[in-house]
Structures are given as C-alpha cells and as structure tokens.
Amino acid sequence: MKCFERLVMHHIKSLFPPSLDPYQFAYRSNRSTDDAISTVLHSALTHLDKKNTYVRMLFVDFSSAFNTIVPQQLIQKLDSLGLSTSLCNWLIDFLTGRPQAVRVGSRTSSITTLNTGAPQGCVLSPLLFTLLTHDCTPAHTSNLFVKFADDTTVVGLISNNDESHYRSEVSRLASWCKHNNLSLNTEKTKEIVVDFRRTHTLHTPLFINGTAVEKASSTKFLGVHVTEDLSWSTNSASLARKANQRLYFLRKLRRAGAPTPIMTTFYRVAIESILTSCFTVWYGACTASCRRTLQRIVRAAEKIVGTSLPSLQDLYSSRLTRKALRLAGDPSHPLHSFFSLLPSGRRLRSLGARTSRLRDSPIHQAVRMLNSLPALPPIPILPPAHTHSAS
C-alpha cells in the first residue's frame, strides 16, 4: 500500500506549481529545514539591522495535527487547486471509513470507524496536511509564516513599538485554525522576543484564545536551539554533548578490533552527522571558542580511528558553496532573490549590512563564499516544476 501511496504522492506534487505556498519547506525539492531556519533568521536579522526595531517569533504547536484533518474540507481545497474529481474521490475513500481497534495482550477492543484525520505513519498524511494549510498565509507584509509540515513559525517584524499587525495576525491564525478544525496547543506554543535596543522595554504578553503564551529565552526550532540573543552557544554545547557521548561507541569499536573503514563510516554516520546538523545555518556565526570545542571532538575521533578526517571548516565551506549554488539556481525559492549576478556575470551583488549579526547570517555568508572563489562556478538552473493537467 505504501508503494501505491508514493505513486499518488508524486502525482499530486506534480500538479502544483512551485509558487504554491513558497514558505512551506517540507516535501519539496531543494527545500530543507536549513532553508526554513535560514529564512526566519534572514528576515529577522535584516529587520533588526534597522533602527528602533525588534522581532517577535511565535513557535506554534498544533495538538494532534494529522488526526484533526476533516476530509471534506481538505477535498474542497484540493478541488479548488485543480485536482481531478476521480483523485479527490479516491482520497475521500482513503481517509474515511477506516476501522480501528486496540489490542492489549490477548484482549481486543470493539472496532471504531474513523472518518476524521489521516492515518499515522501514512506516506500521504504529511503532504495532505501541507495542502490543507497552504492557504494559511499572513495578511500583513510585516509578518511571515514559515512552515515545515506541521511546524509553523510566525515572525513579526515590529517597528516603532507598533505590534498591532502582529497581534491581529496571531488572532487571524487562531480563527483560521478554528475554522479548519486545528487546535492550537497554547501550553506548548512558545514565543521569543529578539530586541537588541539599548533602552529596556517591557514587552506585553501575547494571548491566544484567552491564554498567555510562554515567553522563552530559548527554544528548539526544527532541531536547532534558537535563543533570544540569536547566538549559537546553546546549540553548539548541545551538539558537543551528543557527539562526545557517541565517541564512547567509537572507542568500543576500536577495542573490538574493527577495521578503519568501519570506524570511519560509524564516525560519519553517528558523530559527524550530529556535528553538522543544519550546519550552514549556524556554523558561520558561532564563536571561535565554540568552533574549537567542536573541532576537538573531530581530533579525538581521528586519534581513535587512526586516520585523518575532514575538518568542520572544510565541510562548512563545501556545503555552504553547494547550498548557495542551488539557491542561486532556483527562481522559485524564497531566498533566490538575494543571489543576484552583477552585469559582468562574474560575481554576485554584495549584500549590505550595518551590524555584524547580519553580516554573519547564513545568506550573507553564502554570497560572500561564492564571491571569494577564484571564479564563480556555473550556476545550475533547476528546471521548473511542470504543471500537468489534472483531468
């Protein structure tokens, strides 16, 4: 069944243009959690580069998001997007009339028929949820909705202490959720206020459906620790702890007499993957002290394995270059506009920045990385997604 679901998923994805919900970064080619985080950071840091500004970030948590999908509502949206009647009817049949029972030991409950939600672990469920939420977009240009499946972040760009647009946007989001049978979990929803102004300002709490949202100094966003000062020490320390724990198993492999290629593979899969998680987002802006701490873990692994391993700086440079080239070659990507060629075609247009925070942001680093190369590599222009007939 999962193989057939994958075929249906690829067919559905082929029917929609890349312009559909550009700030939904899940289940789309050339999109990743790195891109979602970079988009949030770039919009925030660009705004904070101006005077008398601050940013409020709302990290929304939905209660059992996939279980609350109302198939009839979803089909109405898919029909408006141009899906054929036969495909919509198949999806209705797929999502409704699903028998479910619970077995504990030798006892089995009575069977209940489910007509709401999408099956857990189903290949189609995440895609259907993203299509359900494609019309959840901001009404004001000073706000941004960045989505990765059911992870939604509202970025409010506040100027001159005027939060009216941000607060009305959050109210609209709550109303949209109610209309679409989605439940906002205000207890798990968190807000971070990023304010670098010298004058101390008391920020009024945000309320959703009468409940105050917790204002946090740090939260985890798509696997990365984001703090109110937008520094990366907390994230680096967390990654260092995890990687150091994995070194124990690498030592166990050496004591067991594992050959070097096996230990190298284990290092790359279990340790390097942790150290380089969302690498292009934070490594360029973390402190020299944090970089040395992380590189010490690589050197410790080298001594255990008995061979040289790629340095984190080399990995960062190669991955950032690769990422920058893909962004520059994808006109449908929200970050594409920042990679603009000069008339000569040999360099990208430099991005201005007043503060070091913005200069060290992922997009600014990516542009500088490409411009630092002896010659600008050919930018691979990604083919646009073709919109097939839905009939």
Q: For 332-391, how does the pLDDT look when each residue is reduced to its tens digit (9 = 90+)? A: 899 999 999 999 888 999 999 999 999 999 999 999 999 999 888 877 666 554 434 333
**Residue 129 is encoded by which pair of tokens?**
């949820």
The DSSP code for 123 is S
371: three-class secondary structure by DSSP: helix
Q: Alpha-carbon distance 253 to 201, whole Å?
A: 54
Closest alpha carbon to 9 in 114, 115, 122: 122
- Beta strand residue intervals within the chain, DSSP E: 53-60, 98-100, 103-104, 107-108, 112-114, 143-148, 151-159, 190-194, 207-208, 211-212, 214-215, 218-221, 224-227
- The whole-number pLDDT of residue 16 equals 79
Q: Where would I find the H helices in 133-278?
A: 164-179, 233-255, 260-266, 273-275
Q: What is the pTM of this model?
A: 0.89
Q: What is the pLDDT of residues 269-316, one digit of tens each?
A: 999 999 999 999 999 999 999 999 999 999 999 999 999 999 999 999
Q: Are the CB atoms for 355 and 53 separated by under 8 Å?
A: no
Q: Alpha-carbon distance 187 to 61, whole Å?
A: 9
The DSSP code for 162 is B
Query: Is the domain defined by 1-69+128-227 classed in CATH 2.60.40?
Result: no
Q: Are the CB atoms for 327 and 335 separated by under 8 Å?
A: yes
Structural domain boundaries in the chain: 1-69+128-227, 232-310, 316-372
CB within 8 A of 142, min separation 6: which ones?
A: 156, 157, 158, 159, 165, 166
* pLDDT average per 10 residues of sequence, the chain (391 residues): 85 79 88 95 96 96 86 90 89 88 91 85 86 91 93 95 95 93 90 91 90 94 95 96 96 96 96 95 95 97 95 96 92 92 90 93 95 83 48 33
